[in-house]
Structure 1
Amino acid sequence: METILNYFETIPSSHRSIILVGGITFFWLLEGAVPLFKFNYKKWKHAWPNLFFTVTTIVVNFGLAFLLLNTADWVKANNFGIINWLPEMPLWLYAVLGVLFLDFFGAYLAHFTEHKVKTLWMVHLVHHTDHNVDTTTANRHHPLESVIRFVFTLVGVFLVGTPIGIIMLYQSVSLIATQFGHANIKMNRKVDKLLSYVIVSPDMHKVHHHNLLPYTDSNYGNIFSVWDRLFGTYMELDRDKIVYGVDTFPDEVANSNLKELLKQPFKGYRKPTNLEELPQ
């Protein structure tokens, strides 16, 4: 574990790029071999706005990375944070707990908050208005959301007390996890269900992308499924019944247009429809 953390502590930017591009490439090819849904789309055309937002996410995170580094150095120097206040433990457990708690603050709590605060929901909406969810959807986040997510991660680093090696490990695992969860791949249902007891499986996360409440407001996790199960936000829905998108923003053409997506956070607030409110 020490070797792994030492590697991530000084991981070259080129290696991080390999993780990003390699993950997208791997799941892109896997989607072609075992697709969950056979989308009637031109895959590269669909991917264009999603890849644009992937680049803006990289730019935001890179531009603000010095804040993470300075915070990580401070908590280490001052022995501050949750995992530093716990009794002495093996290094592997220290790293696992660090990643687990960062997953809560940087992913689950950020995601949950975006769904509950109106202005943040409108920013997060860009991610949900993809009508053909696949691995490129993973980083389809408006630049404003990239900043919001970064702030939550920064707070997590401060409260959890994670050194830079664990932060880089978390971000790398988080990246692959979100690509996996969004990938349009058809796994054996039992295998997927088994995985969902520990990590966020593809079928579990796809429920979150259903176009109606209450499913849209469920399954917020990214790496670990424990947070949804612990806080009662875990839900199931037969994957064959899932309809992607947001029913109050149904225009697929507009939702595929980069200019429209950049303006989307500033449109009128509308949440998905509650199933109970639908006419019988």
Structure 2
Amino acid sequence: MDAIVTYFSTIPSSHRSLILVGGITFFWLIENAFPLFNFTYKKWHHAGINIFMTFTTILVNFCLAFILLKAADWTIANNFGILQWLPEMSLWLYALVGLLLLDLIGAYLVHLVEHKTKFLWRFHLIHHTDTWIDITTANRHHPGESVIRFAFTAIGVLIIGSPMWLVFLYQTLSVVATQFNHANISLPKKVDTFLSYFIVSPDMHKVHHHYVLPYTDSNYGNIFSIWDRLFGTFMTLPKSDIIYGIDTHLNPEEHNELKNLLKIPFKKAALKENQ
């Protein structure tokens, strides 16, 4: 564990980029060889839109990274936050508790709030408009949503009292997890079900991308599945019944044109019908 702490305390940006690109490449190859759904679409056009948004997400996080660093350093220097107030524990347990809490605030909570708040939903909606969920969908986030998610992560770091090495570890695992559960792959049912008791499995997250309520408002987790099970937002749906997209934006001109996607948050039509 000491080696992990040392590595993530000084992880180079090049290594983080390699993990992102390596994950996309790895799952891209697998989903092309063993796809869950055989989509009929312009794959490179679809990928181009999503990869553009991936780069904007990277840019937002890069430009604001100093805030996380300052927040993490402040909590340690001032002995502030949940991790600082807990009894002494092993480093492995410390890391697990920290990861669970960061996932709760930085993934589950912000995701839930985005679905329940009209203004925030306008930005998150872009992620749900994708009707061809694959590895490139993982980081299909409007730049505005990237800022929103960053803000929740920063707040989480302050509340939890997380050191920076743990933040970097969390972000790395979060990238891999979101790639895994968005990839157009299919695991054996028993394997997927077993994994879903601990982490967000592909089948579990695909339910979240079903185009109508109540499934859209379920399975908010990213790394750990415990929060959906604990808070009653866990749902299942047979893979054969899943239809990707969102019922308010099924027109290809709305969900498959980059210029329009960037404008959606500023249109009244972005509001959910049930809100």
Fold equivalence (TM over 0.5): yes
Number of the residue aligned with 1:181: 181
Number of the residue aligned with 2:115: 115
Separation of aligned partners in 1, 2:11 and 2:44: 30
What is the deviation of 1:273?
Answer: 6.8
Number of the residue aligned with 1:100: 100
Separation of aligned partners in 2, 1:145 and 1:6: 31
Retained in 2: the 8 A contact 1:247–1:272? no
Structure 1 residues 228 and 272, CA gap change in structure 2 (3 angstroms): farther
Separation of aligned partners in 1, 2:79 and 2:49: 42
User: What is the one-letter code of the residue matched to 1:116?
Assistant: K
Query: How do 1:24-39 residues align onto structure 2 when only pairs under 5 Å count?
Result: 24-39=24-39
The root-mean-square deviation of aligned C-alpha atoms, in Å, is 1.1
Structure 1 residue 270 corresponds to structure 2 residue 236: no
- 1:142-191 Cα deviation digits (max 9, x unpaired): 00000000000000000001100000000000000000010000110110
Query: How do 1:27-176 residues align onto structure 2 when only pairs under 5 Å count?
Result: 27-176=27-176
User: What is the one-letter code of the residue matched to 1:188?
Assistant: P
Query: How do 1:210-229 residues align onto structure 2 when only pairs under 5 Å count?
Result: 210-229=210-229
Number of the residue aligned with 2:19: 19
Retained in 2: the 8 A contact 1:216–1:272? no
TM-score between the two structures when normalised by the length of structure 1: 0.96
Identity %: 64
Greater mean deviation of Cα atoms: 120-129 or 36-45: 36-45
Greater mean deviation of Cα atoms: 189-198 or 262-271: 262-271
- 1:204-239 Cα deviation digits (max 9, x unpaired): 000000000000000000000000000000000001
Q: How many residues align?
A: 274
User: What is the one-letter code of the residue matched to 1:197?
Assistant: Y
Separation of aligned partners in 2, 1:272 and 1:88: 49
5+ residue gaps, structure 2: none
TM-score between the two structures when normalised by the length of structure 2: 0.98
What is the deviation of 1:253?
Answer: 3.0
What is the deviation of 1:251?
Answer: 0.7
- 1:38-67 Cα deviation digits (max 9, x unpaired): 000122111011000000000000000000
Number of the residue aligned with 1:205: 205
Retained in 2: the 8 A contact 1:246–1:272? no
User: What is the one-letter code of the residue matched to 1:3?
Assistant: A
Structure 1 residues 201 and 189, CA gap change in structure 2 (3 angstroms): same
Number of the residue aligned with 2:192: 192
Structure 1 residues 51 and 272, CA gap change in structure 2 (3 angstroms): farther
User: What is the one-letter code of the residue matched to 2:251?
Assistant: D
- 1:74-109 Cα deviation digits (max 9, x unpaired): 111111111111111000110111111000000000
User: What is the one-letter code of the residue matched to 1:25?
Assistant: T
Separation of aligned partners in 2, 1:188 and 1:264: 37
